[in-house]
């Protein structure tokens, strides 16, 4: 790649596609595609724990004699504020392009690498400050319902042929510029970590990733913490533990969404909708927590 790219192919979305997506809203209904975040919430084991730490409280202000507004305060006015100590990949989130690296030079999509573009405060190429807004057509593909089960078993692959069959059975077509969300049923058991364990890391395999690329999607997500099936059946040679991330995010700039809550839209058989998501623009972050909407 000859020039630095901070945004994936979604940067080229035609304006008429945005207008077309807006016309999908007929009823004024919306579904949140995120679960609440809380201290001690289940997370991918490679990420730090999510913490909410109280910083200011009405009793603390009084006991400490703090005067944030300056005296006098004769009515006992107080407030509460907190620290959030969390990875940007906590709960529903989008991976920035600089999240995953590969090769001896640790490069990622867009022309970034750790030698030239990683500072002490995060990457400066493809970081979360460059994450684009998403306002486009969304599609849900629901393998558990197609198979007649509540949720896929742990480590279960979903391939291209099955996704094609699901789309046909649901009467929905995957098109260029779509965001495709693939349900495994994992978050049906949220936040019961023990129950979730039996359904952990099911997801799309490499054939599914290649099909999504052929279809021209700009982002894709699942309700799991890893997006792709783990352990992968497609390691290849040399071995790659995450070939789907490599194919989509690193090689093609297709954004990956993880821990997306899909139970309500699956229950109501909402298979196409306006997808709206506004990532937080944090310089140096490798992703953003989000609360996406499916709108009808």
pLDDT tens track for 109-129: 999 999 999 999 999 999 999
Confidence category of residue 271, pLDDT binned at 50, 70, 90: very high
- Domain-embedded: residue 129: yes
Distance CA(229)–CA(231), nearest Å, equals: 6
Provide the pLDDT for residue 2.
Answer: 54
* CA proximity to 130, closest of 295, 289, 283, 292: 283
What share of the chain has pLDDT > 70, as a percent? 99
Residues 103 and 64 in one domain: no
Q: How many CB atoms lie within 10 A of CB 194?
A: 8
Q: What is the DSSP string of 39-76?
A: TT----TTSPPPEEEEEE-HHHHHHHT--TT-S--TT-
- Domain-embedded: residue 45: no
Residues 197 and 148 in one domain: yes
Residues 73 and 180 in one domain: no
pLDDT, average across residues 193-214: 97
Q: Look up residue 122 and give its two tokens.
A: 């995060």
- Domain-embedded: residue 178: yes
Residues 231 and 143 in one domain: yes
- Domain-embedded: residue 46: no
Confidence category of residue 3, pLDDT binned at 50, 70, 90: confident
Residues 69 and 100 in one domain: no
Range of the domain at 74: 51-85
Residues 73 and 149 in one domain: no
Residues 248 and 128 in one domain: yes
Q: How many CB atoms lie within 10 A of CB 99?
A: 24
Of residues 67 and 241, more confidence is placed in 241
Provide the pLDDT for residue 36.
Answer: 97
Residues 230 and 253 in one domain: yes
Split into its structural domains, the chain has a count of 2
Residues 56 and 19 in one domain: no
Residues 143 and 169: beta-carbon distance below 8 Å: no
pLDDT, average across residues 148-168: 98
pLDDT, average across residues 174-194: 97
Residues 61 and 14 in one domain: no
pLDDT, average across residues 42-58: 93
Contacts of 237 (CB under 8 A, 6+ apart): none
- Domain-embedded: residue 198: yes
- Domain-embedded: residue 1: no
Residues 96 and 78 in one domain: no
Place of tokens 């994450």: 131
Beta strands in 130-286 (DSSP E): 134-141, 157-158, 179-182, 203-204, 219-222, 255-258, 272-277
- Domain-embedded: residue 228: yes
Q: Is the pLDDT of residue 1 over 80?
A: no
Provide the pLDDT for residue 148.
Answer: 98
Distance CA(253)–CA(245), nearest Å, equals: 10
Q: How many CB atoms lie within 10 A of CB 253?
A: 22
Residues 263 and 144 in one domain: yes
* CATH assignment of the domain containing 122: 3.50.30.50
């Amino acid at each position: 790649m000859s020039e630095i790219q901070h945004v994936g192919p979604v940067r080229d979305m035609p304006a008429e596609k945005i207008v077309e997506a807006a016309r999908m809203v007929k009823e004024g209904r919306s579904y949140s595609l995120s679960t609440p975040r809380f201290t001690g919430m289940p997370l991918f084991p490679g990420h730090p724990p999510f913490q909410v730490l109280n910083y200011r409280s009405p009793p603390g202000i009084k006991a400490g004699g703090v005067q944030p507004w300056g005296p006098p305060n004769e009515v006992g006015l107080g407030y509460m504020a907190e620290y959030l100590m969390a990875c940007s990949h906590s709960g529903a989130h989008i991976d920035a392009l600089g999240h995953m690296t590969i090769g001896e030079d640790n490069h990622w999509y867009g022309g970034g690498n750790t030698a030239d573009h990683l500072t002490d405060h995060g990457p400066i190429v493809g970081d979360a400050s460059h994450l684009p807004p998403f306002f486009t057509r969304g599609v849900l593909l629901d393998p558990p319902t197609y198979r007649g089960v509540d949720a896929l078993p742990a480590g279960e692959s979903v391939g291209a042929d099955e996704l094609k069959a699901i789309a046909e059975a649901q009467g929905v077509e995957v098109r260029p510029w779509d965001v495709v969300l693939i349900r495994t049923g994992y978050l049906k058991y949220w936040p019961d970590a023990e129950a979730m364990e039996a359904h952990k890391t099911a997801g799309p395999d490499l054939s599914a990733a290649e099909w999504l690329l052929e279809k021209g999607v700009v982002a894709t997500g699942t309700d799991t913490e890893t997006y792709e099936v783990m352990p992968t059946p497609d390691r290849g040679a040399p071995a790659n533990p995450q070939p789907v991330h490599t194919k989509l995010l690193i090689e093609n700039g297709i954004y990956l969404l993880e821990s997306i809550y899909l139970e309500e839209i699956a229950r109501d058989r909402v298979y196409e909708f306006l997808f709206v998501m506004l990532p937080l623009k944090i310089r140096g972050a490798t992703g953003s927590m989000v609360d996406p909407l499916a709108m009808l």
